Structure formats: structure tokens, C-alpha cells
């Protein structure tokens, strides 16, 4: 493990301050930035230092309803807007985000902690949803056909579902906003966006960019707040809201689904994960380690798709674990703005403490820390890349989402054992398989209970692919042609036979 020192090529404090000063700090309601109705505010912190980055207006329940008023007022006109016009707004937004890539990347690094290289990757990934759905906006096809008995005609059209509440997490501040906003815009829905209170700055800048791209007032409203319940509570009980899309933990998702049931709202839930990374004895181990690094260390492990359990066939476990530990231990830790930094801080002290508690419990149960295993001293919420060997199958770290740079390795004997261990979780989001046998890959993929499977690939998220899980990892899909369908309702019109006499 190495800790990256700051040097003269770091981003300057003046550059950081200027960027922060350019970000709107109010609530976006009906096209205008305004203060909270009660004048309340909350602070956003730098997880690398613990220092305050900015102070934002904290929306109240009254502000949330004002945002819904604006969304409801704008809905009819926005739904009637030509698909090509909606597409052009999204394309302009893609161009603007791409032009401002360095600003968005630095802002994410400051408020979330990830190294600049990762933030730049997120800008590319997040912007692609804007481009993808700009193309899908004009391809949301219906159909016209004759009934089987030939007596009537069937006309099927897709209509926007209506005003939507979009609740985004802190770990991918830009991509989670674009992944929800872009299909809603493409489908003709108006929105209330509630960013995570830990990382709202990127969403604030993104919303301003959408206005500059030509999005009409009231179509996108942003209510950053220190109180999630104060926003979601009144909105979910208001009959004007027609959909809620949430990315976050399974317990919170369940509560939102229960609340949404009262008005039978459309729901999209992208919830927790416990991704198995399965290495079979015939795998190319060097490529498996490379894939493991990508699947584990993207976003410092703070991703719902992060590999959470490393299931390795017994005959290759020692070699894989040694190579993996060497690669993990070589990563440089530091504030994300430092050029050499490869691992930034976790989001806050609570997250670091939770990760460390899982590590210590696993070690107490018999696991061995091959590298890492203790928090980094000093300011910020850093935790070193950690590999644990000989983790018992009943250890809590194999059941819970780690959300940090920790890789527990456990062994299996047969293909059937691997499938059984992979499925021994209430979660079913992402999974990863490494083998040279393509038939095995297909065979195992058909038997494991996950919405997404990586074949010899450690990163599989893409705007063109349907992202989502099964079991308690949620419902619905984001991205791909499926993504726009989440924001539309299907209407069937039965037409009398035009040839009847």
C-alpha cells in the first residue's frame, strides 16, 4: 500500500473554489433557482478532508409540492412537444456535458472522492445516456394491426406516464442523474429530481446545463435537501405524481414501494447488490485478476455492481489470491485530485467504520488479511484496498453489501457448488464469470439468479444495455431500449373495421 502525496501538479485551490462558486446553490423550481421556503440550508463536505465544500438550500415539503406544481403545469405541453425537439435538447445537453467534462469530473471528485480518472470515466458514461436517449426519443414505436378474427383494428401507442420523482444516490452523481433524466425527457415526462444530500453539487450543475440546452421551465425541477423523507413523503401521497424511480439501498427501496402503493405508482427500483465474481480453474488467471480489479475497485468499491464475493475454484485459489493481493496492494491512496491517486476516500466516517467492522468480523471468524485490513491514519475517510483469504461461507461480509475496497475470497469445489454459493443471497444484480469454456459460461449464466452477467469482463454497464436486477435487487430496467419504456404507459385503441358496411 502506498499513499500518494500532493505535488505541484495537483488541481489548485483557486480552481476548485472557482468551480464550486459557479454551481447553483438554490432549488430549481419552474425554471428558477430559489431559496428554500424556510431559508434552511445544509453543507456538502469533501470526504478527503472533512471540510465544507459548499452550502445549499435545503428543500422543505412545501418546496417539494411547489416543484410538483411546476411539473404538473408543464406536463401537458411537454408531452405534446415533438419527439425530435426533445431529442435535440438531449443532444445539446450531451454536447454541453462533454464540453464541460473537466468541470463535471472535478466537481464529482471534490464531493464524492473518486480519483479524477474515474470521474472522467463517469462523465463519458453519464453523458452517453443523453446521447443514447436522444436517439431513442424518435424510436418509441407503437403498432397498428388487425385482430386475429379480422373484424377490428388494434392501435397501440405509448404515452408519457406523467410527473416523476427521481431519487439518485451519492456514488455516481452524474450518471445516476442522466440515467433517469434522459429517458424521462425522451418519453415526454416532467420530473422532480432529489439528489443525495452527500453529493448534490453535480446534479445542480447538470440541471443548469439542461436549462442551457433548452429544456423548458418546469420540466426538470431539483429539490436538494437534508431531509429525504421531507421530500418523498408529500410527493408520494399526491395523486398528481405518477412514477417514482429510486437508486439506493434495498431497505429504503422497500419503504418507498410501500408508500408508492397507496397511489399505485409506477416504480423503478435499482437496489442493493452482492455480486459474485466466479473464477473457474480453466480461467486465464491474469485476465481474471485484471477483471477483478475493475469489478472491485471501480468507484473504490462503492458501487452496487461491485464484485462483493470472490468465489474461486480450489485448484487455482492460492495463485489467484496472491496475484490479486499484489495488484490491490500496489494501488496508491490519496485525495482524488492528486495525479498519482488511484484510490480515493470513502464517502464518510460511517461508511469507513462499517467497512472496517465487516473486515474485523471476518478476521475474527478465521479469515486472513493478505493485504490491507486497517483504516488509513490522518484526515479524510480512507480505507486501503484489502484482500481477505479463507473467508468462511457464513461470514457476514459475504452476505452484506460491502461498499468499499475489500475483496473476500472463498473457495468452491465444483461448478454446482459455485452456482449454489452465487445464488445464496437475497440480491441478484450483477455477477461475473471467468472461464475459457464458453459452454460453461452459458450454462452457469442460465442457472444463476442475476439480472446482469459479465463473461470474462469486469465492467459491463453501458447506456445501450438494460441495467437492473432480480430478487431484492429491484425491478425495472435503466438504459437500452427498455429504459424509455419505464417512463411510458401503453394505450390500446380498438377501432371498428373500416371496411365494414
Unique residue bearing C-alpha cell 464518510:
348
Q: Cα separation of 235 and 225, whole Å?
A: 14
Reported as type and span, the H/E element at residue 280 is none
Residue 304 among the catalytic residues:
yes
Cell representation of residue 140: 418509441
Q: Quick one: which H or E segment has residue 185? A: helix 175-187
The confidence band for 498, taking pLDDT boundaries of 50, 70 and 90, is confident
Grid coordinates of 464: 445501450
DSSP codes joined into one string, 482-497:
HHHHTTEEEEEEEEE-
Q: What cell numbers appear for 489 in the block?
A: 404507459
Q: Has 164 been annotated as catalytic?
A: no
From 270, 338, 401, 415, the catalytic residue: 270
pLDDT band at 137 (very low <50, low <70, confident <90, very high): very high
429's grid cell: 444484480
The grid coordinates listed for 164 are: 416523476
d(CA 112, CA 95): 24
The per-residue pLDDT for range 375-419, each reduced to its tens digit, is: 999 999 999 999 999 999 999 999 999 999 999 999 999 999 999
407-463 tens-digit pLDDT:
999 999 999 999 999 999 999 999 999 999 999 999 999 999 999 999 999 999 999
Which candidate in 122, 164, 302, 304 is catalytic? 304
pLDDT of residue 7 exceeding 60: no
Q: How far apart are CA 66 and CA 126, in angstroms?
A: 28
- Cell of residue 454, nine digits: 459479465
Contacts of 148 (CB under 8 A, 6+ apart): none
The region of weakest confidence among 7-16, 192-201, 214-223, 268-277 is 7-16
Residue 3: its pLDDT value, please?
Answer: 41
- Give me the pLDDT at residue 448, please: 98
Question: Residue 134 above 90 pLDDT?
Answer: yes
CB 362 within 8 A of CB 356: no
For residue 247, count other CB atoms closer than 10 A to its CB.
25
The residue among 6 and 107 whose pLDDT is bigger is: 107
| pLDDT tens digit sequence for 157-172 | 999 999 999 999 999 9
| Amino acid 483: pLDDT | 96
Would you list the DSSP string of 30-72? Answer: TTEEE--TT--EEEEE-TTT--EEEEEE---HHHHHHHHHHHH
Q: What proportion of the chain, given as a percentage, has pLDDT over 90?
A: 96
Rounded to 5 degrees, φ, ψ at 489 are -115, 155
Query: Mean of the per-residue pLDDT values for the chain?
Result: 96
Predicted pLDDT at 501: 59
Q: What is the pLDDT of residues 262-277, one digit of tens each?
A: 999 999 999 999 999 9
Residue 386 CA to residue 319 CA, distance in Å, equals 17
pLDDT of residue 140: 86
pLDDT tens track for 23-43 = 999 999 999 999 999 999 999
* 3 against 177, higher pLDDT: 177
Length of the chain: 501
Res 4: pLDDT = 43
**Residue 419's beta-bridge partner residues?**
none
Strand residues in 258-401 grouped as ranges (E): 266-270, 275-279, 307-313, 332-333, 368-371, 386-389
Buried b / exposed e across 192-208, counting CB within 10 Å, b at 16+? Answer: bbbbbbbbbbbbbbbbb
Q: Which three cell numbers stand for residue 370?
A: 493478505
Residue 471 has pLDDT above 90, yes or no: yes
C-alpha of 295 from chain center: 14
φ and ψ at residue 370, rounded to 5 degrees: -75, -35
- The whole-angstrom separation of Cα 231 and Cα 221 is 12
The 10s digit of each residue's pLDDT in 171-196 is 999 999 999 999 999 999 999 999 99
Q: Specify the DSSP class assigned to residue 468.
A: -
**Tell me: the pLDDT tens digits for 251-262?**
999 999 999 999
Question: Which DSSP state fits 8?
Answer: T
Mean pLDDT throughout 185-208?
98
Cα angle value 88/22/91 (rounded, 5°) = 10
Which pLDDT band, with edges at 50, 70 and 90, does 8 fall under?
Answer: very low
Q: What is the pTM for the complete model shown?
A: 0.95
Distance CA 351, CA 428 (A): 22
In this prediction, residue 11 carries a pLDDT of: 81
Closest to 93 measured CA to CA, from 131, 59, 119, 121: 131
CB 396 within 8 A of CB 291: no
* Percentage of the chain lying above the pLDDT 70 cut: 98
Q: How many CA atoms does the CB half-sphere of 363 hold within 13 Å?
A: 18
pLDDT at 500: 76
Amino acid at each position: 500500500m502506498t499513499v500518494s502525496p500532493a505535488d505541484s501538479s495537483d488541481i489548485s485551490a483557486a480552481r476548485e473554489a472557482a468551480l464550486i462558486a459557479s454551481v447553483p446553490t438554490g432549488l430549481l423550481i419552474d425554471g428558477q433557482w430559489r431559496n428554500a421556503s424556510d431559508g434552511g440550508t445544509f453543507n456538502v463536505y469533501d470526504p478527503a478532508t472533512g471540510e465544507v465544500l459548499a452550502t445549499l438550500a435545503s428543500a422543505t415539503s412545501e418546496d417539494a409540492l411547489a416543484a410538483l406544481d411546476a411539473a404538473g403545469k408543464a406536463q401537458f405541453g411537454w408531452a405534446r412537444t415533438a419527439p425530435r425537439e426533445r431529442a435535440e435538447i438531449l443532444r445539446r445537453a450531451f454536447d454541453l456535458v462533454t464540453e464541460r467534462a473537466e468541470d463535471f469530473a472535478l466537481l464529482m471528485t471534490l464531493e464524492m472522492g473518486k480519483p479524477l480518472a474515474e470521474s472522467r470515466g463517469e462523465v463519458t458514461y453519464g453523458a452517453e445516456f443523453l446521447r443514447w436517449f436522444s436517439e431513442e426519443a424518435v424510436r418509441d414505436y407503437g403498432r397498428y394491426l388487425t385482430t386475429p378474427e379480422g373484424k377490428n383494428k388494434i392501435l397501440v401507442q405509448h404515452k408519457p406516464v406523467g410527473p416523476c420523482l427521481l431519487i439518485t444516490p451519492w456514488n455516481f452523481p452524474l450518471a445516476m442523474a442522466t440515467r433517469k433524466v434522459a429517458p424521462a425527457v425522451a418519453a415526454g415526462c416532467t420530473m422532480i429530481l432529489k439528489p443525495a444530500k452527500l453529493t448534490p453539487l453535480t446534479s445542480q450543475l447538470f440541471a443548469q446545463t439542461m436549462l442551457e440546452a433548452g429544456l423548458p421551465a418546469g420540466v426538470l425541477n431539483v429539490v436538494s435537501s437534508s431531509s429525504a423523507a421531507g421530500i418523498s413523503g408529500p410527493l408520494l401521497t399526491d395523486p398528481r405524481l405518477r412514477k417514482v424511480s429510486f437508486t439506493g439501498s434495498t431497505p429504503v427501496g422497500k419503504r418507498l414501494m410501500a408508500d408508492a402503493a397507496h397511489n399505485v405508482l409506477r416504480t423503478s427500483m435499482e437496489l442493493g447488490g452482492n455480486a459474485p465474481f466466479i473464477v473457474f480453474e480453466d480461467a486465464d488467471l491474469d485476465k481474471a485478476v485484471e477483471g477483478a480489479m475493475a469489478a472491485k475497485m471501480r468507484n473504490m468499491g462503492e458501487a452496487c455492481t461491485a464484485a462483493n464475493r470472490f468465489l474461486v475454484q480450489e485448484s487455482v485459489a492460492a495463485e489467484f489470491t496472491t496475484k490479486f493481493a499484489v495488484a490491490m496492494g500496489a494501488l496508491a491512496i490519496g485525495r482524488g485530485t492528486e495525479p498519482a491517486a488511484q484510490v480515493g476516500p470513502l464517502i464518510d466516517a460511517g461508511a469507513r467504520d462499517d467497512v472496517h467492522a465487516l473486515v474485523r468480523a471476518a478476521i475474527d471468524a478465521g479469515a486472513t488479511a493478505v493485504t490491507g485490513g486497517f483504516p488509513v491514519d490522518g484526515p479524510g475517510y480512507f480505507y486501503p484496498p484489502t484482500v481477505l483469504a479463507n473467508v468462511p461461507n457464513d461470514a457476514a461480509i459475504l452476505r452484506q453489501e460491502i461498499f468499499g475496497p475489500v475483496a473476500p475470497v472463498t473457495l468452491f469445489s465444483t461448478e454446482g457448488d459455485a452456482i449454489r454459493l452465487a445464488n445464496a443471497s437475497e440480491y441478484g444484480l450483477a455477477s461475473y464469470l471467468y472461464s475459457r469454456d464458453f459452454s460453461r459460461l452459458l450454462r452457469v449464466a442460465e442457472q444463476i439468479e442475476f439480472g446482469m452477467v459479465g463473461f470474462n469482463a469486469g465492467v459491463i454497464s453501458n447506456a445501450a444495455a438494460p441495467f437492473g436486477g432480480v430478487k431484492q435487487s429491484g425491478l425495472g430496467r435503466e438504459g437500452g431500449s427498455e429504459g424509455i419504456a419505464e417512463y411510458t404507459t401503453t394505450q390500446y385503441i380498438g377501432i371498428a373495421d373500416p371496411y365494414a358496411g
